[in-house]
Structure 1
Amino acid sequence: MRLGYSHWGFLGDGVTDTPDGGRSWRSTMLTTLAADHRLILLQPNRDQLEAGHDVPGPYSWDSGLPDLDALFVEWRWPLPGRNDTPCGSPGHTCDLHRQQELLNHYTLRLGVPTLLWDLDKTLADDDPLRTHPAVRVLDPATHPAPGALTMRVPVFDEVLDGADPEHLVGGSRIWSLCYVGNQYGRDEHFDRFFAPPARRHPHQVIGKWTDTARWPHVHFAGRQGFAASQRLHARSVTTVLLAPPRYAATGSMSQRLPEAVLAGCLPLGPADIAGIRDFLPPELVVRDGKAADLVISNLDAFGQNNRAEVLAQCLDRLGPFRASRQRAVVQAAFADIAGGRAADARTDINAMHRSVLRTLSDLASDPAGTDASPR
């Protein structure tokens, strides 16, 4: 099956001055999809155009409207001053326009089976696409929006099967606490769970944080490259899984959890994230900054063997991120669309059958046809 894939981000390290949380998993996603489909990438090749790198993989690129059997979209949304401005204007990015072009052509005009992956939970609950017969919405949350299917970011099964907790927690850990990610909507969690322990523990924050006056004691290192962010996890004992309210309320778990665990960095989970105990052992779930401070102190004091035991429990809970599970979700979503179409077709056939039976019955009761005009 020819599957078109729309994403606005990078497959490799990309460039530093741009947000893109998909760099740790997107290539895994494409490899997983390519196991079942002929994959065609439909947005611009930003790795080549912006970073000057070709990232080879099991896919081709097409900026037009090639023949497709199905469409998979990493959902984009309006960003004022960026993708909602006229094409060619300063600072304009055309991701939203291109997405609409694809949806207009394939989904709305041709009825091509379409999966919308609402990774940032920005697709409105009342958006008509949610009820379009050719569309299924994928949601990264434990409690997805009505009608949506839960789909996490993928980690190769082989990576999880081969992970050695004792090896992962090794190396020099110069930071007791770190955070990798941008500010967007995370102020409440940051204020409650990160800022208090940051007063006592060596720490570093990487990402775009522009409104930080209330936390003068926190060391914000600004945006850094993807590789640097991964090194920070590998040099830190703990991190905190900060979540905007819309993520926390639905149990939407981002890529930061597997990124940290696979770097041997123990993630602390705010207790108000729905379903957090499905992803972390009880000793890593914290109710406030005081509790986070105590856990960090204890983990700092633990030897590597004890930290490895805790990390092993985290690894055991990464099953929902397995690439094989995400592959099964995609297959189920496409099968559901096909099943809906088959049901519609059966309804049409049954209606036609009933119409034929009525016609035959009418003819049997009035062979001459009483509605015929006299000659």
Structure 2
Amino acid sequence: MRIGYSMWGFLGDGILDTPDGARAYRRPFIDGLIAAGHEVVLLQSNRDLYEAGEDLRDRYRWHMGFPDVDALIFEWRWPLPGRNTTRCGDIGHTCDLHRQTELFDNYTAAGTPTLVWDLDRQLPADDPCRQLPNVVVGEFALRLTPGAEGLYCPVPDDLLDRADPKQLAAADRPTPLVYVGNQYDRDEAFDRYFAPAAATVPHRVVGKWTRTLAWPRVDFAGRCGFAEVEQVHRAALATVLLLPERYAAVGHMTSRWFEALLAGCLPLVPAEIHGVDAYVPPQLRVNDGHEVIEKLAWLRSIAGSAEHADLIAACLGYLEPFRCSAQVATTVKLLEGLS
């Protein structure tokens, strides 16, 4: 198939001031489609070139018109007032939503098989596009919206294949606790799980956190570049996976899970997250900040040991069903089912 792909983000490291968690898996996913024999045409602006100064045109093709395609994939965008809802040319305007609308009207409304990948759970359950016979909606969630299909956060195969539990356990990890990610809708989870533990151990919070007065004892380090995320995790013993309520209620897990784990940073996961047993063994599930403190004390006591390596190995096993290759295969099957 010749697949049109709409995404507002980067294939490379991108720029600092942008929320683009999909960078952790987007390029391996697109590479997987290409390796499976499909042609991919990128239909949004080449932000790698125009914003980050990285020229990837020798490997990937961008097109800002309406080329012939057999199928279309949207990384779904939604209205962000003051950004993509303003007029083209206005200060601060981004054209992702306008372009998505153009693509939808030109292709999807005309019957082109379309996968709407709702990465941020922003597509309303009653959106009319869900009823179109040529549209399928993919979600990360374990508890799916009626009519949607499971298309999970892809774990890059090569990174998973290279992960060595013994080497990861043996690494020096001077920071007991870290969190990498932005604040968006995570205040309640942060206050319940992370902040109490942060008061007791050295820690770092890396990301865009603009409302922090409630946590004067927390070390907010600000944003870091995408390429630095792995090093932050490699220096840390553990993290807490903090999800917005709309994610936690349905078991929608983000890339921070595998980014941390593949660097040997063990994820402590709130037990209230739906389907938590799909993500970590019982030893790493927590109910509150006090349990986070207890788990950290235990992890510090076994750091570098065979028990530590065995625990990392067990956690890596949980990533297997989420391999990028499996998500590519699911994507192709879904699109072929619409043809």
TM range (shorter): over 0.9
Q: Percent identity?
A: 52
- Give distance in 2, aligned partners of 1:217 and 1:308: 32
How far off its partner does 1:57 sit? 6.8
1:38 counterpart residue number: 39
Deviates more, 1:317-326 or 1:160-169: 160-169
Q: CA RMSD in A?
A: 1.2
- Give distance in 2, aligned partners of 1:106 and 1:254: 29
How far off its partner does 1:273 sit? 0.5
- Give distance in 1, aligned partners of 2:185 and 2:156: 30
CA deviation string 1:317-360 (max 9, x = no partner)? 0012212210221122123323xxxxxxxxxxxxxxxxxxxxxx
1:82 counterpart residue number: 83
CA deviation string 1:26-78 (max 9, x = no partner)? 11110111123111000011111011112367531101111111100100001
8 A contact 1:195–1:218 mirrored in 2: yes
Matches within 5 A, 1:219-234: 219-234=219-234
Quick one: structure 1 residues 56 and 154, their matched pair in 2 at CA, closer, same or farther if it must change by over 3 Å?
Answer: farther
1:245 counterpart residue number: 245
1:106 counterpart residue number: 107
Deviates more, 1:85-94 or 1:17-26: 17-26
Give the TM-score of the pair, scaled to structure 2.
0.97
1:144 counterpart residue number: 144
Q: For the pair shown, which has the larger CA radius of gyration, 1 or 2? A: 1
1:279 counterpart residue number: 279
Matches within 5 A, 1:311-350: 311-338=312-339
2:198 counterpart residue number: 198
CA deviation string 1:164-217 (max 9, x = no partner)? 111123322111000010000111110010000000011000111111111000
2:163 counterpart residue number: 163
- Give distance in 2, aligned partners of 1:49 and 1:126: 36
How far off its partner does 1:304 sit? 1.2
Q: Which amino acid aligns with 1:45?
A: N
Deviates more, 1:299-308 or 1:127-136: 299-308
1:302 aligns with 2:306: no
Q: Which amino acid aligns with 1:162?
A: R
CA deviation string 1:121-165 (max 9, x = no partner)? 000001001111110000011111111111112223343233211
8 A contact 1:116–1:137 mirrored in 2: yes
Give the TM-score of the pair, scaled to structure 1.
0.88
Gaps of 5+ in 1: 339-375
8 A contact 2:238–2:265 mirrored in 1: yes
- Give distance in 1, aligned partners of 2:10 and 2:65: 20
Q: Which amino acid aligns with 1:200?
A: T
8 A contact 1:165–1:309 mirrored in 2: yes
8 A contact 2:171–2:304 mirrored in 1: no
- Give distance in 2, aligned partners of 1:284 and 1:155: 20
Deviates more, 1:81-90 or 1:159-168: 159-168
1:137 is paired with a residue whose SS is strand
- Give distance in 2, aligned partners of 1:284 and 1:199: 20
1:370 counterpart residue number: none
Gaps of 5+ in 2: none
Matches within 5 A, 1:46-195: 46-55=47-56, 58-108=59-109, 110-195=110-195
Which 4+ runs in 1 deviate beyond 6 A?
none
Quick one: structure 1 residues 118 and 18, their matched pair in 2 at CA, closer, same or farther if it must change by over 3 Å?
Answer: same
1:64 is paired with a residue whose SS is coil
